[in-house]
């Protein structure tokens, strides 16, 4: 699982039929403190996330396909939660 912030929507005029009716979002990855790492993912939105929201991303192909209930979908990453707050404990 990874933390990320939704930064935009992906629009595609031609895609695999699996993606019909599903939203693809760009997500900037974050470190535990909420700072962008410089990496990003394109994710299937399973929780109706919006721009600027901090999200939990499942970035494992077979697990993502299980969440979406499709054994052969061309999916690697899926947004599985919207994060309200992150609390880090001091060491």
- pTM (2 d.p.): 0.86
Which of 64, 46, 65 shows the shortest CA–CA distance to 55?
46
Predicted confidence at residue 76, as pLDDT, reads 83
Predicted confidence at residue 60, as pLDDT, reads 84
> Could you give the domains of the chain?
2-12+22-82 (2.40.50.220)
Cα–Cα distances (Å) from 11 to 3, 7, 8, 25, 68, in that order, read 23, 13, 10, 9, 20
Task: Render pLDDT for 26-56 as a digit per residue (tens, 0 to 9).
Answer: 999 999 888 999 999 999 999 999 999 999 9
């Amino acid at each position: 699982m990874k933390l990320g912030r939704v930064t935009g929507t992906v629009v595609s005029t031609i895609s695999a039929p699996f993606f019909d009716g599903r939203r693809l979002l760009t997500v900037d990855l974050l470190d535990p403190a909420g700072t962008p790492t410089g990496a990003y993912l394109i994710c299937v939105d399973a929780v109706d996330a919006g721009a600027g929201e901090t999200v939990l991303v499942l970035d494992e192909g077979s697990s993502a396909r299980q969440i979406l209930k499709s054994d052969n979908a061309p999916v690697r990453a899926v947004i599985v939660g919207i994060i309200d707050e992150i609390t880090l404990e001091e060491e």
